[in-house]
Structure 1
Amino acid sequence: MSLKKTAIWITMLALVLKLSGFLRESIIAAKFGATELTDGYLLAFSFITLVVAMIANGFNNVFLPLYVKKKKEASDATEKDANGIMNVTVLLFAVVSVAGFFTAKYFVPLMFQDMTPRTEEVAVQITQIFFVAMVAIALNGILESYLQARRIFVPSQVSKLLATLMGAVFAILFADTWGINSLAYGFVFGTVLGILIQAFFLLRSGFQWRPTAKVGVDFRKAFIVLIIPSLLNSVVGQINMLVNKSFASGTTEGAVTYLNNASLLVNIPNAIYATTIGAIIFTLLSEQIDRKEQFQNTFFKGLEISFLTLLPIAVGLLVVGEQALSFIYERGAFSAEDTRATYLALLFYLPMIVFQGLQFIVSKSMYAQGKTAIVFRISVTTIAINVVLNMLLVDEYGYPALAFASSMVSLYYLTVSLIVVYRGFDKHESRKLWRMVTRALIPAAAMGAAVWGLGQVGFVAGLYSLIQLAILVPLGIVVYAVLLRVFYRDGFNRLLGLVKRRKAV
């Protein structure tokens, strides 16, 4: 399958995945609202996102470029090394699984010291459930990396979809029996199904599993040198999230849920982008590392696609975000007051849509170049900055300050990373970036003004939230597309060509 067709398929699956995520969150909101139960579940789920980040980002960022490079030199030996890496990683997570299960009752209260007794009870219990399944969760992420190295992208999306969808299905079927634990059981069940699907496609591609823990000296040395800073870097974002949730748990009841629900909406565009176009661009960057001009062109196209698609989404959510949140969450135990509290957090999260989208391409380019240690040195400083901002702001401004701090940290991370990358590029490349940014700002701003203006009209403002979105979103798309063609025709044509082109990428 060509990369063009693959991109279409995984984009469709990513959209279905996000819709499934909203289904799950809507069920959580309807059945449990924004309470101590949901706060406890979300705190426990933080540990799973930590593991997923370590594998999907930390492991993959090192394994993919190294695997592609070594396979060109010695294909059979590289396959044996890949087996060894997989087996050793699974064994390590087996140890983590046992240790985490028995120590959860100690480290969960230590990490989130201001929890209510009920929140603590739920957080500890669900954390133990997730740690029992830690090997399966880690293996699921490892298989994704192996498939991506073979240019097989679709099964991984199906696997992610099953984990999310089963959480929603189990909540519908078993919430009355298992309570909020049903979400965790569903996630684990879907993860196991995902492993079976990914393993099937990996074996069909010619991969042969071997029961070995041996890894060649050259491959092992290169992997270890890069994996340690990469893993540490991959969890920096999750550590910042844990820090934010820790501060939020000490503010008001439901604050963790408000931040979580707002961040889920903010993360949708980047999640779709990272798992579709971004994954393919990383593969291409890894393959073009020795061809500077092609590498620079691919890098710029990645930034351009990211900025031109994510900027209007951020502006659009600024003006219709409350309607979107109302439609997704506002039912059952989740009230209109909860929606307004979530929208307040959303406003301060919005810049992250653009910053994180650009950062994804910048970081991937640095990983492809083997600059793992540099990425880590930059990203680790974000933890200190995040903690300081939280301490300075949260007591006076409450949980919205945590969202603001996240956006500021994201801006810092992107700025420093861009400086590092462009030092190694031709000088005219940075000028291309700034021309692209300035030309896209006017269409996005005009689109936001048009959507906001129509949204204030009496007959529109009084409609149900979904109907408002059905009117305002198409208007925004049309206005942005028309003005982008006027102010930045080259970028518009490249985006249009990406959609219309039928030849393989």
Structure 2
Amino acid sequence: MSNLKKTAIWITLLALILKLSGFLRESIIAREFGANDYTDGYLIAFSFITLVVAMISIGFNNVFLPLYVKHKEDSPAETERNANGIMNSTVALFLIITIAGFFLVPYFVPFLFGDMNPETEKVAVDITKIFFLFMSAIALNGILESYLQGRRIFVPSQISKLLATLMGAVFALLFSDTWGIYSLAYGFVFGTILGIIVQFFFLTRNGFKWMPTFKVDETFKKAFIVLIIPSLLNSVVGQINMFVNKIFASGTVGGAVTYLNNASLLISIPNAIYATTIAAIIFTLLSEQVNDQRKFQNTFFMGMEISLLTLMPIAAGLWVVGEEALSFIYERGKFTAGDTANTYTALVLYLPLIVTQGLQFIVSKSLYAQGKTGIVFRISVTTIVVNLILNFLLVDRYGYPALAVASSVVSVYYLVVSSVVVYKGFEGQEARKLWRLFSRAIPPTVLMVLPIYFLKKVDLVSNLYSLFQLAILVPIGVIIYTVALRFFYKEGFYRLLNMVKKKKAV
């Protein structure tokens, strides 16, 4: 468990750096290009990249990695040949997608996104064609991550992701005057190719040898094919919902896709970092304790408790200081105060996602640990239908903010339905413990929010630069919440404190 925690800490730190580099890129985009039809076009094109990355990094990885590790123990040489065959076949498939997609882009992008502004449509089509040219390279970059994980090598994959993100920012800084918004796409592609080189270097150092073969053992191939289809479908549900939101947003006002994107990036930070740590600790414990009902229930509650006690105050805090955070990150160059205000509108409506997605992570992982992957898939698919209906009913009347509302409602729906399934298998008092947890987490959060809300209104604070406001308000909020939690929920406070101490002790 000690090595697992060390790995979790390193991955958490790398995830934080990756997120910060993402904000550096978005800050540069805001300065160089603002929020307009051109940035909307770029973000629409980038949706195809996030879809492919999700398919490979989640869907492919969830199937390939266990098979690779399992078969490698019994027949390492044959498994390496099978792994090469799978990799080569997948890259070849994406080469076909590359060729077909490149010529079909001018037709399916306008079809999918409907009533776009002419400038948005042109940028979206042009950049999507650039991405499709290198789709096989993007897929290979994700596949190599699975191979590295199978050999317990984690850092090169994170470096690869950083390179793709940072090169987009660097190219925007250096070449925006020459290539405009297209510099972001060129930078991303360049960084991806560098990432492939880095990952291949570390793989070969670890003994990996590439083989020019498409041959895969029948047993390995059948197991892979049977599992890959539901895994791929499950991996892209969230991306499909985001895709749908961008389709609806592209038909509202110029910059709407950018406002939603920038707000969701800030919302995603807590869960991106938190989920990475939980994946290595809570999920492992749940998997180990699946046959011990009492321990499983206690670990599940511990995960829900940690999620709620850490994420609820973050969500409430962003309601108070979110506009200042957005202003510090984005408001410069062509990204105006009006753009910040529009992004903050979306941010406020996205805030429930911080809590619901954190809790959902624990709920879904408990179902995965119990082998109930089919149930997770069926529930997640229904979220696409709910999201579509809400977008259709609300967007014409309320514009792009309605899309943020729909996302939050869908997230609550997903959490409630999944939780009902989990608690059906638990003892009756477990559900009552969850309700008591909510009732005891709310008072410290409210006591934290009220003082910093009124302090923010004081001229001495409100007239300061956004970063200085954050430097004053955030520490005050943390101190108030810590003291209030100690007073209102002593047991939870000490359990959370012990969790932090254990991480530091590793």
Partner of 2:470: 469
Q: Distance in 1 between matches of 2:145 and 2:282?
A: 16
Matching of residues 404-419 of structure 1 within 5 Å? 404-419=405-420
Could you report, residue by residue, the CA deviation over 1:296-339 in whole angstroms, capped at 9, with x for unpaired residues? 55544443333322221111111111111111111111111111
Could you report, residue by residue, the CA deviation over 1:51-70 in whole angstroms, capped at 9, with x for unpaired residues? 11112222233334445555
Partner of 1:362: 363
Amino acid aligned to 1:59:
F
Partner of 2:86: 85
Aligned 8 A contact 2:49 2:131 in 1: yes
Amino acid aligned to 2:347:
L
CA distance 1:292–1:470, change in 2 (3 Å): same
Deviation of 1:277 after TM superposition, in Å, equals: 3.5
Q: Distance in 1 between matches of 2:137 and 2:340?
A: 35
Partner of 1:179: 180
Partner of 2:8: 7
Aligned 8 A contact 1:366 1:421 in 2: yes
Could you report, residue by residue, the CA deviation over 1:22-76 in whole angstroms, capped at 9, with x for unpaired residues? 1111111111111111010011011111111112222233334445555566666
CA distance 1:84–1:364, change in 2 (3 Å): farther
Q: Once structures 1 and 2 are overlaid, which stretch shifts more, 148-157 or 111-120?
A: 148-157
Partner of 1:118: 119
Q: Distance in 1 between matches of 2:73 and 2:287?
A: 12
Partner of 1:145: 146
Please state if 1:55 is matched with 2:56. Answer: yes
Please state if 1:310 is matched with 2:307. Answer: no
Q: Distance in 2 between matches of 1:204 and 1:327?
A: 42
Q: Distance in 1 between matches of 2:430 and 2:83?
A: 36
Deviation of 1:469 after TM superposition, in Å, equals: 0.4
Provide the identity percentage.
71
Q: What TM-score do you get using the length of structure 1 for normalisation? A: 0.92
CA distance 1:157–1:432, change in 2 (3 Å): farther
CA distance 1:356–1:149, change in 2 (3 Å): farther
Deviation of 1:2 after TM superposition, in Å, equals: 2.0
Aligned 8 A contact 2:5 2:281 in 1: no
Deviation of 1:203 after TM superposition, in Å, equals: 4.1
Q: Once structures 1 and 2 are overlaid, which stretch shifts more, 285-294 or 385-394?
A: 285-294
Amino acid aligned to 2:264:
S
Amino acid aligned to 2:401:
P
Partner of 2:229: 228
Matching of residues 347-496 of structure 1 within 5 Å? 347-496=348-497
Amino acid aligned to 2:130:
I
Q: Distance in 2 between matches of 1:284 and 1:154?
A: 24
Aligned 8 A contact 1:249 1:256 in 2: yes
Amino acid aligned to 2:396:
D
Q: Distance in 1 between matches of 2:290 and 2:148?
A: 20
Q: Secondary structure at the match of 2:333?
A: coil
Q: Distance in 1 between matches of 2:56 and 2:406?
A: 26
CA distance 1:221–1:436, change in 2 (3 Å): farther
Aligned 8 A contact 2:8 2:276 in 1: no
Q: CA RMSD in A?
A: 2.6
Deviation of 1:472 after TM superposition, in Å, equals: 0.6
Deviation of 1:408 after TM superposition, in Å, equals: 0.4
Could you report, residue by residue, the CA deviation over 1:119-147 in whole angstroms, capped at 9, with x for unpaired residues? 11100111111111212221222222333
Q: Once structures 1 and 2 are overlaid, which stretch shifts more, 226-235 or 4-13?
A: 4-13
Q: Distance in 1 between matches of 2:173 and 2:489?
A: 47
Deviation of 1:250 after TM superposition, in Å, equals: 1.2
Could you report, residue by residue, the CA deviation over 1:246-280 in whole angstroms, capped at 9, with x for unpaired residues? 11111111111111111111111122223344355
Q: How many residues matched?
A: 505
Q: Distance in 1 between matches of 2:138 and 2:102?
A: 15
Q: Distance in 1 between matches of 2:484 and 2:360?
A: 26
Aligned 8 A contact 1:4 1:503 in 2: no
**Structure 1: tracts of 5 or more residues without a match:** none
Q: Secondary structure at the match of 1:137?
A: helix
Partner of 2:243: 242
Aligned 8 A contact 1:267 1:353 in 2: yes
Please state if 1:253 is matched with 2:245. Answer: no
Q: What TM-score do you get using the length of structure 2 for normalisation? A: 0.92
**Structure 2: tracts of 5 or more residues without a match:** none
Partner of 1:103: 104
